[in-house]
């Protein structure tokens, strides 16, 4: 059937040349029409992926900066809050101390007034009895 045999398979030179010619034409058409488009698509996809990687790296760095800034702001806010609490406690101690002093002064004045009133009442009573 064939012109010769390879490993027990009959091979025809004409069929071999015909298949080689078809393969060459197929490769030529693929190279001319399909490979360029496929390579362009692959290159475009590669470029898109690289852009996405760069963008994600940029966003990651920005997020790290934001996190660092937020942590600093949080620390500062905590320090400020502690200072406000300390200042509030200090002012409340001053107000309480002032109120105690004022209360002591009021009690002292009330005692003095009571003694004065009592002595005036005794004087009036002794004036009425003696007169």
Chain segment 49-93, per-residue pLDDT in tens: 999 999 999 999 999 999 999 999 999 999 999 999 999 999 999
Q: Is the pTM of this model over 0.85?
A: no
**Residue 10 reports pLDDT greater than 60:** yes
- Residue 129 in tokens: 């009895």
**Residue 105 reports pLDDT greater than 80:** yes
Residue-level pLDDT at 130: 59
**H or E element that contains 11:** strand 9-11
Can you tell me which residue has the tokens 């015909």? 18
Query: Rounded distance, CA 130 to CA 60, Å?
Result: 103
CB 13 within 8 A of CB 21: no
**H or E element that contains 5:** strand 4-6
Per-residue pLDDT, averaged over 103-119, amounts to: 91
């Amino acid at each position: 059937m064939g012109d010769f045999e390879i490993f027990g398979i009959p091979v025809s030179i004409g069929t071999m040349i015909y298949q080689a010619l078809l393969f060459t034409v197929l490769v030529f058409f693929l190279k001319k029409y399909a490979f360029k488009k496929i390579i362009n698509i692959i290159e475009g996809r590669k470029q898109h992926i690289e852009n996405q990687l760069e963008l994600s790296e940029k966003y990651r760095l920005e997020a790290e900066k934001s996190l660092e800034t937020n942590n600093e702001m949080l620390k500062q806010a905590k320090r400020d809050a502690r200072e406000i609490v300390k200042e509030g406690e200090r002012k409340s101690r001053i107000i309480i101390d002032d109120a105690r002093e004022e209360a002591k002064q009021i009690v002292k004045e009330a005692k003095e007034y009571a003694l004065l009133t009592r002595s005036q009442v005794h004087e009036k009573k002794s004036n009425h009895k003696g007169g």
